[in-house]
A and B are shown apart, each in its own frame.
Chain A
């Protein structure tokens, strides 16, 4: 049964199109990832799902209801953790949990919740004194305190150190195992690859691909990448003209060639004919990063200006 159905969602702010045309369905009990670079329209999409924004076109259904018309009912049953949502600096953890649990018809036992999230010993601590990881755990706890059927978690691990990120991932899996359907918004490939049952790859307001992490990688698998440092300067055109090659890029003094078929052989033949030696030659395996490039035709981190 689809818990969330988004069909041809379109949302613009003035002249800026935030979401062009997005459709997907989230099944009960899965971790559904919405993955894409910054500015791809991920947050706007989940804000429409959470009922915070009205779509300009298209339909959104959550638990069989319209987030705009049945906002009151859905706010009881959908837990949301939005990015950059803090709490008052001097509010204590227990006070926050007690307050937010009073908002719901059937609140979870928040003491148990804090224990399972590993922040039970912080009950008397003010929000400003919590570490980044503890703040995120509290945020998750607040999203879950109403015993929701669906939890929407936006950019959960941004700004966390690697250990805290891994701990948070374990938590999300625990939450899913307790029967809550999770929509996870992220711009981290490794996070999506590790956690999600299925991923919608969003780029420029559209779904570029929707599959399991393995499925997405497999789609891009016919693409390979060869990386080397030429012994003398090399004209990119020599390689770009090859039928096997789809793209030639430079990474410092290294040349990175992406392509299909017998790519390695094609490259080494051309180099040999031109008496160029390929030093530090490596053939790279496909990752979700490559899948993104293959499926959208551009680098994942383009929009972050890297």
Chain B
């Protein structure tokens, strides 16, 4: 156990030395949301969001942006690099299994995402007067399940690609898809209904985050027909299923060198 703690501390330090991951994965969602909030009309309640404000409606999408950077960009790139550079191979000659490095990576990625979410929620609350999550436990659960699914897909990408270049290519494709479905590029109320419904079940689950954050207020119901209160269990269950399936396939196919 102590080697895992040590590995996590080292991987954490290495993460902090990657300015791109820290800035875009952790800090950027908050900056972007605050930037949006600097535009007066986006702070005004609007009938488009059921009487809520754009900054509220879009806040979970800002978080999706950061989670995507961490889960399907940073993680597959790092793991593929560790494999390509023989870092996992070197470790497999020591008494410690290289799987522990991957575990440490995931712990660090989870901590970074939690920091990104905490920063976003608190900054939105303090600066833009966005209420704190209505259902904090549901919010945490939706975050963990949705981000877990995203991480599993990130590891799956690293598992099935032969080298860093291909891994980065697949990671970019996946990232674009998740960003689009998560309403990062275009607010979800502008998307066709079918795309919105697909997005409900796509990691990291922007609608579940929205539901848990705002309860049955207008922001959450803007693009959902009948959602109210805590997130729908079906959405969380499907994302949990994606996490388990992607994780299992990745574990099966993963090559250490």
Contact B6 A86 (CB under 8 A): no
Contact B93 A52 (CB under 8 A): yes
Q: Which of A76, A82, A104 contacts B90 (CB 8 A)?
A: A82
Residues of A within 8 A of B13 (CB): 95
Binding stretch for chain A, among B79-87, B117-125, B197-205: B79-87
Interface assignment of A180: CB less than 8 Å from any CB of chain B? no
Known pairs A85-B90, A95-B10; A103 contacts B3 (CB<8 A): yes
CB distance from A228 to the nearest CB of B (A): 47
Contact B94 A146 (CB under 8 A): yes
Closest to B96 in A: A103
Residues of A within 8 A of B43 (CB): none
Bound: A82/B85 CA distance, A? 11
Chain B, 3-20, contact with A by CB distance < 8 Å: what is the 0/1 string? 100110010011001100
Contact B86 A88 (CB under 8 A): no
Contact A75 B2 (CB under 8 A): no
Closest to B82 in A: A88
Known pairs A52-B92, A100-B94, A103-B96; A88 contacts B14 (CB<8 A): yes
Q: How many residues of B contact A (CB 8 A)?
A: 20
Interface assignment of B40: CB less than 8 Å from any CB of chain A? no
Interface assignment of A22: CB less than 8 Å from any CB of chain B? no
Closest to B95 in A: A75
Interface assignment of B89: CB less than 8 Å from any CB of chain A? yes
Contact A90 B18 (CB under 8 A): yes
Bound: A95/B6 CA distance, A? 10
Contact A85 B86 (CB under 8 A): yes
- Complex interface residues of chain B between 55 and 104 (CB less than 8 A to chain A): 82, 85-87, 89-90, 92-96
Bound: A100/B17 CA distance, A? 20
Closest to B6 in A: A102
- Complex interface residues of chain A between 86 and 101 (CB less than 8 A to chain B): 86-88, 90-91, 95, 99-100
- Complex interface residues of chain B between 1 and 53 (CB less than 8 A to chain A): 2-3, 6-7, 10, 13-14, 17-18
Interface assignment of A84: CB less than 8 Å from any CB of chain B? yes
Interface assignment of A4: CB less than 8 Å from any CB of chain B? no
Contact B93 A75 (CB under 8 A): yes
Bound: A102/B18 CA distance, A? 25
Residues of A within 8 A of B82 (CB): 88
Interface assignment of A144: CB less than 8 Å from any CB of chain B? no
Contact A91 B10 (CB under 8 A): yes
Bound: A78/B94 CA distance, A? 8
Interface assignment of A72: CB less than 8 Å from any CB of chain B? yes
Contact B90 A142 (CB under 8 A): yes
Query: Known pairs A82-B93, A90-B18, A95-B10. 11 more at Cβ < 8 A?
Result: A75-B94, A86-B85, A86-B90, A87-B90, A88-B87, A90-B14, A95-B13, A100-B94, A102-B3, A104-B95, A146-B94
Mind listing 16 A-B residue pairs with CB under 8 Å? A72-B95, A75-B93, A78-B93, A82-B86, A85-B85, A85-B90, A86-B86, A86-B87, A87-B85, A88-B82, A91-B14, A103-B3, A103-B94, A103-B95, A104-B95, A146-B95
